[in-house]
Amino acid sequence: MVVEVDKRVWQADGEQKGAAVKEMFSEIAPTYDLLNSLLSFNLHHRWRRKAVATLKLPPGGAVLDLCCGTGDFLPPLRRAVGPEGALVGVDFCGPMLERAHKKDPMATLLLADAKAVPLASSVFDGLAVGWGLRNVDDLDRALSECFRVLKPGGRFACLDMARPRGPLGPMAESAFHIVTPILGRLFGRAEAYTYLPKSAARFATREELGHKLESAGFREVRWRDFFLGNVCLHTGVKP
Ligand SMILES: C[S@@+](CC[C@H](N)C(=O)[O-])C[C@H]1O[C@@H](n2cnc3c(N)ncnc32)[C@H](O)[C@@H]1O
């Protein structure tokens, strides 16, 4: 392990972050889906459906699930493109990817880094990434890969944690920072579920991520909040 948890995974950068994040997800893969559902009150499926709807995927189309993890984006993406569609999942963590196969046995799953996606340019009608970009050690490179693999007119949708705003923001953020590590500890995953709120606090703001998407070349960049602003959906189109 490159970065011990007590040396704060969430403070790591660059290659150190990549190695620590990969190891962390390898460890939590068996309980990832359960904790995801508990922490989101199972609402993540609804947010995924909303994200997939923004992709406006054609039946038979091609779609990439970047940082696909255990593959919870695959079923709604499959419903959108249908059995004839080409669905590809990419993740650099083997134990997470192994679980994705069960969610869509027809999908093509690739063990690869989001910073260097081993796929041709301009091939996808849409790209979804769920709670992935926050973990990548070079966000700009990952975004330029997202842009590269999309066809002109292809749509991008990213769900990730955000810092809650508005009158209930401080309360929602405190609850997230307190409840998440406690729940993680109950499942013996204290470190990973301390990383979750810490990495969310360190992640690009809505506006910063929006600007980065535009810098990568995306247009029609928009975002909307879910879950009192703890979760945010960013969308964009490759012109
Ligand atoms: C929080 S999980 C999200 C999984 C899934 N997308 C979902 O919506 O549940 C983050 C995933 O990003 C993957 N990941 C992080 N950095 C990556 C990178 N540089 N390249 C590929 N996958 C990466 C991790 O292995 C992990 O499976």
Q: Which residues on neighbouring strands pair with residue 124, listed in sequence order?
A: 150
Q: Is 233 exposed, middle or buried (0-12, 13-18, 19+ CB in 10 A)?
A: buried
Q: For residue range 94-127, what is the model confidence (pLDDT) as tens digits? A: 999 999 999 999 999 999 999 999 999 999 999 9
Side-by-side strand order, sheet with 86-91 = 108-111, 86-91, 62-66, 124-130, 150-161, 231-237, 219-226
- Band of the pLDDT at 190, cuts 50, 70, 90? confident
Q: For residue range 10-26, what is the model confidence (pLDDT) as tens digits? A: 778 888 888 999 999 99
For residues 17 and 121, give the distance between their C-alpha atoms in angstroms, rounded to a whole number.
Answer: 27
pLDDT at 40: 93
**For ligand 1, mutation pick of 25, 32, 158 (most atoms within 8 Å of CB):** 25
Other CB atoms within a 10 A radius of the CB of residue 21 amount to 23
**104 alpha carbon to ligand 1 midpoint, in Å?**
17
Within 6 A (CB) of ligand 1 lie 18, 21-22, 25, 36, 67-69, 72-73, 91-93, 96, 113-115, 130-132, 135-136
The average confidence (pLDDT) of the chain is 93
**225 alpha carbon to ligand 1 midpoint, in Å?**
21
**167 alpha carbon to ligand 1 midpoint, in Å?**
31
The model's pTM is 0.93
**For ligand 1, mutation pick of 48, 135, 145 (most atoms within 8 Å of CB):** 135
The structural domain count of the chain equals 1
- Band of the pLDDT at 3, cuts 50, 70, 90? very low
For residues 147 and 131, give the distance between their C-alpha atoms in angstroms, rounded to a whole number.
Answer: 18
**66 alpha carbon to ligand 1 midpoint, in Å?**
8
The residue range of the domain holding 197 is 1-239
- Which one-letter DSSP state was computed for residue 226? E
- Band of the pLDDT at 135, cuts 50, 70, 90? very high
| CATH, residue 172 | 3.40.50.150
Q: Whose CA is nearest to atom 10 of ligand 1?
A: 132
Are 50 and 233 in contact by the 8 Å Cβ rule? The answer is yes
- Band of the pLDDT at 7, cuts 50, 70, 90? low
Q: Whose CA is nearest to atom 16 of ligand 1?
A: 136
**34 alpha carbon to ligand 1 midpoint, in Å?**
16
Q: Which atom of ligand 1 sits closest to the CA of residue 71?
A: 5
Q: What residues have CB less than 8 Å from 8, skipping those under 6 apart? A: 198
**For ligand 1, mutation pick of 2, 67, 72, 92 (most atoms within 8 Å of CB):** 67
